[in-house]
Amino acid sequence: MQKLSGKTCIVTGAARGIGAAIARSFHDEGARVILTDINDEEGQVQAQTMGADYMHLDVSSESDWESVALKFPAIDVLVNNAGVTGFEEGVRAHDPENASLADWRAVHAVNLDGTFLGCRYAIAAMRREGTGSIINISSRSGMVGIPGAAAYASSKAAIRNHSKSVALYCAQQGLDIRCNSIHPAAIMTPMWEPMLGEGDARDANIAALVKDTPMQRFGEAEEVAALAVLLASDDARYMTGAELTIDGGLLAGSAASPG
């Protein structure tokens, strides 16, 4: 039996990477899926390949969320996946000493404000039935400091905490609306391609990037999607305010034998 049959699910940042994998997995489990993104061309292609719906959505825009609410006033699942690192337009300072306020705010506008607006919309859209699942994609970087990507780490840490606030608020309101967060580490998505290179250099770069990961590999987007399916389904109906880490054992410590 398909785990998400009859559910209407919105996934943000679904044009590629983790968002696209989650959308595909939801569709395969019988959900009606609405993909959203600012990358309309790739998002529409993804939607067409699975027979799903697509809608333009800049998650940092309140008016865009209002448009989503008008078109989809009732949903069962929202995945707040859309996010940026701050390096999309090239290398720039994102450390605590040299990052500009504008760059700091730009990352938080998408990652944190986008999640806040998404959660606010989802609560209203799910309140009609009194039930639903909100899944926020945080990061391993939301649990540890990242000196060279301070805004990204800060925004993901805030998502981690806001997910708990949303979970408690919904429970306080007597709503069966669950809110949980997923914390991936290095997941093989197009975001990594510029850093990996080609040929022998690619293999060496991959090895260097995962050398501190106990499982010695990148995660796959489909592995993150499997967790999202769990949280979206009724199998996780007693889970709220939880955080699921998928990092190949990175936060568990070192796999090296003691000296």
First to last CA, the chain: 50
As a 3-state breakdown, the chain gives helix, strand, coil percent values, each rounded to 5, of 50, 15, 35
Query: φ, ψ for residue 179 (rounded to 5)?
Result: -135, 120
CB contact at 8 A, 59 and 65: yes
CB contact at 8 A, 187 and 18: yes
Q: Of 54, 152, 169, 238, which residue is the catalytic one?
A: 152
Check if 152 is active-site: yes
Give CA separation, 71 vs 12, 33, 47, 74, in Å: 15, 14, 17, 9
Residue 42 contacts by C-beta under 8 Å, 6 or more apart in sequence?
A: 15, 16
Residues annotated catalytic, as ranges:
152
